[in-house]
Amino acid sequence: MDKFDFNWCLAYFQKHGRALFGPRFTIHPGDHAILYKLVVYFIRHQAEADRLGIDLRKGILLTGPVGCGKSSLMTLMRTVPMPPYQFTVRSCREVGFEFREEGYGVIGRYSKLSYRGAAPRAYCFDDLGAEQNLKYFGNECNVLAEILLSRYDRFVSEGMVTHITTNLSAEEIEQHYGKRVRSRLREQMNLVAFSRRCGDKRG
């Protein structure tokens, strides 16, 4: 693939966004640069990825303030025709509640390999930082930290891909999850960041 029609992509995601999120959905002109990087990544455009410094082996760490559209854009990326792999968007709060109800098996659920030689399962953990440390039979666990560390090991050994959306800065990620998690996220993900001045598009 030498080039692609980004204007066609904008119309495509606008159409699918309205089908998913309602007729008021719109892609703001100020978000085109972010969307462009995501499209380059998810259609696996190697030349543009190289130009933009995007490593197609890694996942996406999409950061920005509350309401800037991170979750919506990652959900839209699931509509890319014939993606290299399917991924599931999972709320970090829901993962935390699963741990509270079911216990430590939840960590293995989100970091195990697929069956029968299939590609390792890809997840987008949505809104990292919205969950809180929860207890299972009195034992407190930073469940997302454990999942991310386990998936990092799988990334190194089997190429397991992880995506994240978060409102947290790098320093806040370290504060919530520790230096090891921050370091490993840097190794296994491409940072794509909205401006901190980006306003809340909800409402």
- pTM for the complete prediction? 0.89
Is the domain spanning 55-193 CATH 3.40.50.300? The answer is yes
Share of the chain above pLDDT 70, in %: 85
> What is the tens place of the pLDDT at every residue in 78-107?
998 766 668 999 999 999 888 888 888 888
Band (pLDDT 50/70/90 cuts) for residue 119 is low
Q: CA 24 to CA 11: how far, in whole Å?
A: 15
pLDDT of residue 136: 46
Domain residue ranges in the chain: 55-193
> What is the tens place of the pLDDT at every residue in 135-154?
544 455 788 999 999 999 99
3-state secondary structure 62-113: EECCCCCCHHHHHHHHCCCCCCCCCEEEEEHHHHHHHHHHHCCHHHHHCCCC
Q: CA 101 to CA 96: how far, in whole Å?
A: 9
- Mean pLDDT for the chain overall: 87
β-pairing, 122-128 vs 87-91, is parallel
pLDDT of residue 75: 95
> What is the tens place of the pLDDT at every residue in 156-196?
998 999 999 999 999 999 998 999 999 999 999 999 999 77
pLDDT of residue 104: 82
Backbone torsions φ then ψ of 131, nearest 5 degrees: -80, 170
Q: Which position has the higher pLDDT, 104 or 70?
A: 70
Instruction: Check pLDDT > 80 for residue 108.
Output: yes
